[in-house]
Structure 1
Amino acid sequence: MNSMNAPMILPWIARKAGISDELALKLWRRAASEAEYLTGKSEGSEFWGLSVERFLSIVEDEVGNTPSYNLTPAPQMSWMWRHQSRMSMLSIVAAQNAYRYWQNTWDNMYPQKKVA
């Protein structure tokens, strides 16, 4: 995986976590490699979602394992990604339920005649 495929937010996350851009890119490549192995894909929403989730988790582990001389700990970001993923899934579930409701209503209003 090359740096061209890294998300544009990578430097921001690196600064927030207190790590270098180079280390963030190295951790991103690791996360993307793991996501590709787990999904069997190197693109698509499932791959990207898992890549970001793995990246944030790896960054948190890395920051937790390095000695920190800052008084404030690095922010934990993986919870935000998981929360956003759950919220987007709720929208999909709501849309599916609305579709099923309208499809059932339509079918009940205009039942198809069975051909013998």
Structure 2
Amino acid sequence: MNNSMNAPKILPWIARKAGISDELALKLWRRALSEAEFLCGKAEGSNYWGLAVERFLAIVEDEVGGTPEYTLSPAPRLSWMWHHQSRMSLLSMMAAQNTYRYWQNTWQSMAAQKKIAA
């Protein structure tokens, strides 16, 4: 399977923001896919795709000098934004899991008390 065909739709936007050509962005995307596959041991799954995007953003930042000054307005590094979004998603998932466990434990203790009373 040719994973470069699945380049993110945001690739041209990142290229413009970084001041690089779409062709270079695609080349860097392919490099990120290769590195992610090497690190994950396979070219599939959410860990692989997440790592591919992380590597791509880091490679782009290295390519433009690694500073946020490549845009007219000061902005945080793209990789920082990606990490932050990933952390926030993880925290939301953890909160949902904790809520589920709380209600499950409450339900089980109520059911156990009902059995004892019966």
Q: TM-score, normalised by structure 1?
A: 0.84
**Structure 2: which 5+ residue stretches go unaligned?**
none
Aligned-partner Cα distance in 2 for 1:55–1:20 = 14
1:1-116 aligned at under 5 Å gives the runs: 1-64=2-65, 72-74=69-71, 76-111=77-112
Higher helix fraction (1 or 2): 2
Aligned-partner Cα distance in 2 for 1:15–1:86 = 26
**Structure 1: which 5+ residue stretches go unaligned?**
66-71
Q: TM-score, normalised by structure 2?
A: 0.82
Aligned-partner Cα distance in 2 for 1:7–1:62 = 18
Q: CA RMSD, aligned part only?
A: 1.9
Which 4+ residue blocks in structure 1 deviate beyond 6 angstroms? none
Percent of aligned pairs sharing the same letter = 76
Aligned-partner Cα distance in 1 for 2:70–2:64 = 9
1:73 alignment partner AA? Y
